[in-house]
């Protein structure tokens, strides 16, 4: 049986950020601190990374609940980071051990890259020896050393490079990708105006994730990444692709260069090398933009807030439950679920990729990055090489594309990818205007390769979309349109209404021979209420709009001692409300899945009054639009206003259709592109097999798949129009731990669980500052 460490008083946890900063580190710090405090532990910030551990003194400070208030939306790390040369030496690590143990810290949450995490594991391995040396030197009491015989570590990967094996995404990567795509979109507009070539260098060190995914999401013509270097003669090949695109109507040509790019001989490829190749082969003087550290800066995205909060809570739990036999782990995510991998194994696997590249095993390097990376390399190559055919290939089919349901940012991206890949495969791609009502009226036109130029990052839906689901008597018009246009297959992109429409078509297949064709449905809905798919196309874009709106509302509330009741979209699915509330630090979220009761509201009013009485300057409640029929946003605001008296006032805000607008985020562009590629592949598979199955895209922890429509009703709650199993509900508990502080029935300034910790120390919990140590 493992031996649980027993130390006098509460467990003490240190949290530090080390190496390069990454947006999302602050939400991770906040989550570690608050969830540990709520469990009765004490938490200390180690300022300036390992340098603070070496320095000790004022660089190791106790943190309380309010000390991490107001940091969710801030970029960088409020506790500082540095690269510490002293810590690389044993003397430096001995000093770090002394300073940590003097503060009673023997558990560390380390947020950083592979170098920082390797340093943490080295300190862990040497810990006992270092303490023995300190005791022998007379610098540490034997009793103290015996009280802290082991160091326990939980690693959180903070790096914009996304270069750590064992997690889908590292903290900061999504935000960095946003910064890149914002720049690429801006550059693309000026490039198109002048028919000019731009070369953009992105960060990433020896990992090509940012380069590859920004190339796909930004619709680049060519990309250079370390894991998949170009073949010999790349200069001419690149120029041929650019010329071919120009001949087909492309006005902008963007080339992405990852900072660690090399050719197959191992020679670095710089932006100037690419520019010279364009000058020599095309006679064009391309413009170079090096994005630099702008990629590290700015407020973290919704994903980098809620994901960082999840892993921060998991790290605190890992440390609180650690034993002497616990293997140090890296806390990561896989398909939006928490995973744990042994730290040593993760670092070793990460560094092995560099060895593969240096050994010229590029295929192995791509595989080692994971299935998602490999698949995106294949998709980019297919899109870059896609032939803008004038005549259709032998044996090509006629594929219709239609939207259905509410608008979702990323719909245009999916059509762009499907059209380009379909034409390249020799098919005729047909656009159906105006959803299923347009389908019934025969509003069909053929796509040319250049017709979807510029759709990659375009918001809205150029084909148009409607929520109407055809009735049984209206299916004849759809069958007639299929026959008149000789359609061989259908690609449907949309939300729950799209699934219902296709389900109806399947039920009526015997009546309409034209329905005997393969149909693939791809999930696109800001409600994120579709079966067996974690993040539908459009959900991330809507989530970021809602979060950014909540950030602004909180600023207004804090200036006025005000409570806001903010209503998000989502219908009967609370995804947008719950996750945007978590990302923005909302105190209360009301969901359809949970409902609203009088007893809930009584407790909420009590907590709200207590919060403002104790000096709180704002309170944010987020309501899913269908949370309860009678308890509307206006009703809640009036109730809170009446009960608030002179303490605070209340305003209701309905965010509305702004959540459907704007250009799609990089995540939604990447998901849409990958789904479109999977859809065309599924249709090609069915063409080859001679089948005509109706399927919808699904995902599991292992892979993506196409699921027959006969399973649809088993996976959804038809009355509530949402999946029976919703993965994001696990974030309810995360939000409870990091956002929902209990104010009533506690001494002033005491967080949940902290009162017990104070009593255990024999202290009296006192009033803390209304603003945290790190608040601006």
Are 216 and 670 in contact, with CB atoms under 8 Å apart? yes
| Best CA proximity match to 324, nearest among 157, 156, 153 | 153
Question: Is residue 752 predicted with pLDDT exceeding 80?
Answer: no
Are 269 and 257 in contact, with CB atoms under 8 Å apart? yes
What are the pLDDT digits (tens) for 369-406?
999 999 999 999 999 988 776 445 457 999 999 999 99
* C-alpha distances out from residue 545 to 58, 287, 542, Å: 39, 32, 5
Question: Is residue 750 predicted with pLDDT exceeding 50?
Answer: no
More confidently predicted of 763 and 741: 741
Question: Is residue 429 predicted with pLDDT exceeding 80?
Answer: yes
Distance, in Å, from the CA atom of 470 to the CA atom of 472, rounded to the nearest integer, reads 7
Average per-residue pLDDT for the chain? 91
Question: Is residue 237 predicted with pLDDT exceeding 60?
Answer: yes
pLDDT of residue 689: 97
Question: Is residue 754 predicted with pLDDT exceeding 70?
Answer: no
Question: Is residue 307 predicted with pLDDT exceeding 50?
Answer: yes
User: pLDDT category, 700, cuts 50, 70, 90?
Assistant: confident
What are the pLDDT digits (tens) for 442-488?
999 999 998 999 999 999 999 999 999 999 889 999 999 999 999 99
Q: How many CB atoms lie within 10 A of CB 772?
A: 20
pLDDT of residue 776: 36
Paired residues of 198 in beta bridges: 254, 287
What does 135-175 look like in DSSP terms, one character per residue?
Answer: HHTTSS-HHHHHH----EEEEEEB-TT---TT-S--BTHHH
Q: What is the pTM of this model?
A: 0.93
Question: Is residue 658 predicted with pLDDT exceeding 90?
Answer: yes
Structure tokens at 376: 């995106």
| Location of structure tokens 């308890």 | 631
Are 430 and 447 in contact, with CB atoms under 8 Å apart? yes
Question: Is residue 504 predicted with pLDDT exceeding 60?
Answer: yes
Are 468 and 495 in contact, with CB atoms under 8 Å apart? no
User: Is 161 an annotated catalytic residue?
Assistant: yes
Question: Is residue 760 predicted with pLDDT exceeding 50?
Answer: no
Percentage of the chain beyond pLDDT 90 is 86
Are 659 and 566 in contact, with CB atoms under 8 Å apart? no
pLDDT of residue 359: 95
Question: Is residue 505 predicted with pLDDT exceeding 70?
Answer: yes
Q: Quick one: average pLDDT of 598-604?
A: 95
Active-site residue, selected from the candidate residues 21, 67, 106, 161 = 161
Question: Is residue 245 predicted with pLDDT exceeding 90?
Answer: no
User: pLDDT category, 632, cuts 50, 70, 90?
Assistant: very high
């Amino acid at each position: 049986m493992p031996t649980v460490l027993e130390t006098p008083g509460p467990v003490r946890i240190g949290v530090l950020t080390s190496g390069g900063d990454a947006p999302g580190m602050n939400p991770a710090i906040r989550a570690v601190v608050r969830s540990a405090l709520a469990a009765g532990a004490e938490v200390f910030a180690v300022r300036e990374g390992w340098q603070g551990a070496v320095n000790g003194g004022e660089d190791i400070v106790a943190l309380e609940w309010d000390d991490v208030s107001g940091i969710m939306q801030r970029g960088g790390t409020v506790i500082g980071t540095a690269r510490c040369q002293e810590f690389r030496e044993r003397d430096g690590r001995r000093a770090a051990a002394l300073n940590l143990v003097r503060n009673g810290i023997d558990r560390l949450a380390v947020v950083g890259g592979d170098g920082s995490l390797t340093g943490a594991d080295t300190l862990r391995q040497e810990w006992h020896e270092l303490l023995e040396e300190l005791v022998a030197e007379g610098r540490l009491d034997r009793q103290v050393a015996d009280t802290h015989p082991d160091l326990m570590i939980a690693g959180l990967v903070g790096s914009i490079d996304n270069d750590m094996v064992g997690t889908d995404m590292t903290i900061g990567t999504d935000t960095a990708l946003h910064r890149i795509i914002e720049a690429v979109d801006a550059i693309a507009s000026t490039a198109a105006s002048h028919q000019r070539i731009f070369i953009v260098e992105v960060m990433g060190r020896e990992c090509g994730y940012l380069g590859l995914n920004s190339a796909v999401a930004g619709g680049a013509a060519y990309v250079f990444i370390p894991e998949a270097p170009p073949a010999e003669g790349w200069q001419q090949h690149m120029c041929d692709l650019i010329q071919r695109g120009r001949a087909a109507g492309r006005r902008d040509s963007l080339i992405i260069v990852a900072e660690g790019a090399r050719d197959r001989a191992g020679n670095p490829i710089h932006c100037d090398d690419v520019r010279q190749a364009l000058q020599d082969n095309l006679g064009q003087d391309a413009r170079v933009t090096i994005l630099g550290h702008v990629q590290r800066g700015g407020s973290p995205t919704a994903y980098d807030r809620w994901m960082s909060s999840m892993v921060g809570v998991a790290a605190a739990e890992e440390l609180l439950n650690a034993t002497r036999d616990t293997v140090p782990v890296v806390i990561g995510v896989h398909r939006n679920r928490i995973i744990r991998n042994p730290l040593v194994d993760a670092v070793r696997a990460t560094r092995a990729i560099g060895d593969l590249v240096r050994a010229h095993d590029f295929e192995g390097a791509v595989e080692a990055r994971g299935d998602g990376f490999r698949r995106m390399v294949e998709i980019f190559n297919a899109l870059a090489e896609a032939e803008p055919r004038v005549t259709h290939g032998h044996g090509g089919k006629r594929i219709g594309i239609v939207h259905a349901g509410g608008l979702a940012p990323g719909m245009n991206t999916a059509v762009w990818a499907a059209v380009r890949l379909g034409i390249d495969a020799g098919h005729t791609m047909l656009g159906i205007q105006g959803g299923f009502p347009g389908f019934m009226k025969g509003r069909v036109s053929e796509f040319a390769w250049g017709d979807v130029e510029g759709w990659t990052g375009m918001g809205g839906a150029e084909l148009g979309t409607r929520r109407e689901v055809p009735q049984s008597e209206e299916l004849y018009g759809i069958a007639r349109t299929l026959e008149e246009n000789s359609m061989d297959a259908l690609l449907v992109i949309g939300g729950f209404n799209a699934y219902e429409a296709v389900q109806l078509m399947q039920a009526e297949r015997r009546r309409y021979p034209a329905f005997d064709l393969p149909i693939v449905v791809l999930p696109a809905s800001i409600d994120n209420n579709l079966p067996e798919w974690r993040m539908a196309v459009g959900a991330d874009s809507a989530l970021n709009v809602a979060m950014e709106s909540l950030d602004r509302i909180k600023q207004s509330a804090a200036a006025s001692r005000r409570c806001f009741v903010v209503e998000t979209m989502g219908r009967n699915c609370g995804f947008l409300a719950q996750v945007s509330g978590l990302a923005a630090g909302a105190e209360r979220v009301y969901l359809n899945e949970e409902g609203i009761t009088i007893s809930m509201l009584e407790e909420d009013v009590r907590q709200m009054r207590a919060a403002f009485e104790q000096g709180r300057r704002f309170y944010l409640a987020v309501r899913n639009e269908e949370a309860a029929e009678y308890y509307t946003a206006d009703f809640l605001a009036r109730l809170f206003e009446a009960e608030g008296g002179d303490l605070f006032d209340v305003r209701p805000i309905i965010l509305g259709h702004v959540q459907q607008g704007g250009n799609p985020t990089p995540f939604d562009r990447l998901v849409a592109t990958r789904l479109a590629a999977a859809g065309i592949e599924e249709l090609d598979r069915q063409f080859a097999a001679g089948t005509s199955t109706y399927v919808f895209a699904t995902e599991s922890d292992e892979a993506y798949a196409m699921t027959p429509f006969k399973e649809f009703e088993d996976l959804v709650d038809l009355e509530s129009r949402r999946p029976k199993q919703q993965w994001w509900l696990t974030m309810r508990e995360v939000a409870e731990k990091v956002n929902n502080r209990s104010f009533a029935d506690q001494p002033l300034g005491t967080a949940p669980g902290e009162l017990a910790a104070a009593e255990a120390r024999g202290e009296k919990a006192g009033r803390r500052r209304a603003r945290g140590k790190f608040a601006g």
